[in-house]
Amino acid sequence: QVEVAESGGGSVQAGGSLRVSCRASGYTGTNYCMAWFRQAPGKEREGVATMHGVAITSYADSVKDRFVISRDYAKNTVYLQMNSLKPEDTAMYYCAASPSWGPCKRDPPKQSDFSYWGQGTQVTVSS
């Protein structure tokens, strides 16, 4: 059984940086697709970034060149480094995992493709 849990959210001023983490328990090797989604109040959940294989990544246009998804296999942890944060980045950020690469090849990623979800971590960006 795979479980994922996010941490590292918080409050930051616009232009600042924050890193959120997703620690996975159970097997989540290179054949897994790992993703970050976010959901702002009153809005639908949207895919932010995905990673599969050794380092194959994709990003939503709204975060491209500002966010970086990375993975430490030794720690079984996925990170989302968020730079140049904007108030519109304020949302609950969720980690998701799928035991195949397929979901990572869909653009944008689709929530229903992911089997495992964390509880989320809040990121708030003030202007």
pLDDT on residue 34:
95
pLDDT on residue 104:
95
| Cα–Cα distance list, 125 to 4, 16, 19, 47, 54 (Å) | 24, 8, 13, 19, 31
Using a pLDDT cut of 90, give the percent of the chain over it. Answer: 88
pLDDT band at 27 (very low <50, low <70, confident <90, very high): confident
**Distance in angstroms (rounded) separating the CA atoms of residues 103 and 112:** 9
pLDDT on residue 77:
94
Mean pLDDT (whole number) for 13-22: 98
pLDDT on residue 26:
83
Task: Please state the length of the chain.
Answer: 127
What's 75-118 look like in SS3?
CCEEEEEECCCCHHHCEEEEEEEECCCHHHHCCCCCHHHCCEEC
Q: Is residue 28 scored above 80 in pLDDT?
A: no
